[in-house]
Structure 1
Amino acid sequence: MTTPEHPSPAPQPSPPASPDRIYRSPLGIVGGVLLLGIVCWLGVDAIVVGHGNTPWLALALLILALPAIAAFTLRPAVFANDHRLRVRNPLRVVALPWGQVEMLRSGFTNEVTSSSGTTYQLWAVPVSLRARKQAARRQARIESDQRRGGKRRGGGLFGPTPVSVPGGPEAEAEGPVRAEGDRIMDELKDLHEARAKAATSQGEVTVRWAYEVIAPVAVGVLLLVIALAVG
Structure 2
Amino acid sequence: MLSHHGIKITGRSRRLTLNYRTTRENLSAALQTLEGGDYRDLDLDESVEATGYRSARSGPVPVFKSVDSREQEVEEVVAAIQGWLAPLGKENAPGVAPETIGVLVHDQRSRDRMVEALALNDIPARSVDRERPQPGQVPVMTMHRAKGLEFSKVVIAGHGIWPGYFKERIKNWDTSLQADADLRERSLLYVAMTRARDELVVITPQDQ
| TM-score normalised per structure 2 | 0.28
Flag the structure with higher strand content.
Answer: 2
Flag the structure with higher helix content.
Answer: 1
Higher RCO (CA 8 Å, separation ≥ 6 residues) = 2
| TM-score normalised per structure 1 | 0.25
Q: Which has the larger radius of gyration?
A: 1
